[in-house]
Structure 1
Amino acid sequence: MMNMQSELLDAITWAASRGWAPATGGNFSARTAQGYLITASGKDKTRLQEEDLLLCDPYGLVIDGMGLPSAESELHAALYRLDARIGCVLHTHSVASTVLSRRHPNGIEFTGFEMQKALQGNKTHAATVLLPVVPNAQDMTELAASVTAGWPMPWGFLVAGHGLYALGDDIASCRRHLEAIEFLLACVLEEERWQA
């Protein structure tokens, strides 16, 4: 069985290989008994090692590891404090998530896509699923307040002009949500191109 560090690194490398973490972008974390593991700032996500993961307490202070946590570590900490069911946060910067989050500031609805069933609790393509969009802010307290105001967001949310925060109760479910949402976003972006 894979340990948490290896499983998280595998998910990060997988996401980066799809072009979802360009230019050292994105940040990735998993809940631990002490707080959470998170990627160190400024690291190429296609080449991370275990020493590039930092252990932080529930308020974002580094307990173990070298380097600085991601600039958005405070948002990860706020999410873990907000909902005890969150076990993993995978934040990416795909083209589809960035463009669509600017075009749909009130959220993106998915209806009729079979892939919606990959989102926990959704059992049919016939349902309408809303992926929320929150306004971007460099101040993580302000950004966390926007997320809290729109809670619950069971699979994740978009930050306008920024990217996707996928959520899951463990690394595997978060990775599934990330892949499903990125697929759905790519479908919506393609449909919008056809309609233009």
Structure 2
Amino acid sequence: MSTQEELLDAITWVAAQGWTPATGGNFSARMPQGYLITASGRDKTRIQAEDLLLCDAIGLVLDGTGLPSAESELHAALYRLDADIGCVLHTHSVAATVLSRRHPEGVRFTGFEMQKALQGNRTHDASILLPVVPNSQDMADIAAAVKAKWPMPWGFLVAGHGLYAVGEDVATCRRHLEGLEFLLACVLEEERWQR
């Protein structure tokens, strides 16, 4: 399966989870010429190859029609920041959005078996912090906040916005995204029951 096919498959799966409401979310994969990214305003439940744009390392469109996602600049900044990032998947789940507002210092996971889905973790006994960066309509501001807290090996939350998962390739990024979304849902449910 090509990188483009893997990315389309991941987007379709993510959309089926309900994590891309109202055309939200954006998804990209590194390519030799730059990166593939979803075009702005596309319904992720009906994503097709023509909904992906090829951009260069600074985010200029090389191939495809339409405008790149409004957050393309942040994807480009992530690829420039870390050569090991091969994919970025960004969702707008309820759990990620709510918890990013409730925990501006970051969301901590402790004692969950699913923590082992995150590359480098071999035990549920670890305590893991998923960082939160402030939201902004200026992607350069978010990129600067991410750079200041780097490294963030599995991703980060943007306050009141959602989750950005990263990985060395589409499959790893998708696993990180699924694991983090599960962990966020668990924390949200625990907090609900603690009230």
Q: For the superposition of Structure 1 and Structure 2, which TM-score range results when normalised by the shorter chain?
A: over 0.9
* DSSP 3-state at the match of 2:32: coil
Following the alignment from structure 1 to structure 2, what is the Cα–Cα distance between the partners of residues 132 and 8?
25
SS at match of 2:44: coil
The answer to whether structure 1 residue 13 and structure 2 residue 12 are counterparts is: yes
1:124 deviates by 0.5
Q: Could you report, residue by residue, the CA deviation over 1:92-125 in whole angstroms, capped at 9, with x for unpaired residues?
A: 0000000000000000110000000010001110
2:46 is paired with a residue whose SS is coil
Question: Percent of counterpart pairs with the same letter?
Answer: 80
Give the distance between the partners of 1:49 and 1:108, measured in 2 at CA: 34
**Aligned residue pairs, count:** 195
- How much has 1:5 moved relative to structure 2? 1.1
Question: Matched residues in 2 for 1:62 and 1:31: separation?
Answer: 14
Match of 2:125 in 1: 126
Indicate the residue corresponding to 1:194 in structure 2. 193
| Cα deviation, residue 4, structure 1 | 1.2
1:89 is the counterpart of 2:68? no
- Residue in 2 aligned with 1:117? 116
Looking at structure 2, the residues matched to 74 and 123 of structure 1 have their Cα atoms a distance apart, in angstroms, of 33
SS of equivalent to 1:46? helix
Partner of 2:49: 50
What TM-score do you get using the length of structure 2 for normalisation? 1.00
What's the C-alpha RMSD, in Å, of the aligned pairs? 0.4
Separation (CA, whole Å) in 2 of partners of 1:66 and 1:48: 14
The whole-number CA distance in structure 2 between the counterparts of 1:51 and 1:174 is 22
Whole-Å separation in 2 of the counterparts to 1:171 and 1:60: 19
Q: Which runs of 4+ in 1 moved over 4 A?
A: none
Distance 2:3 2:186 in 1: 32
Alignment of 1:3-82 (within 5 A): 3-82=2-81
Q: Following TM superposition, by how much is the alpha carbon of 1:126 offset from its aligned partner in structure 2, in angstroms?
A: 0.2
For 1:161, the equivalent position in structure 2 comes to: 160
Question: 2:61 and 2:9 mapped to 1: Cα distance?
Answer: 22
Aligned equivalents of 2:142 and 2:110: distance in 1?
Answer: 28
Q: Any idea what SS the aligned residue of 2:176 has?
A: helix
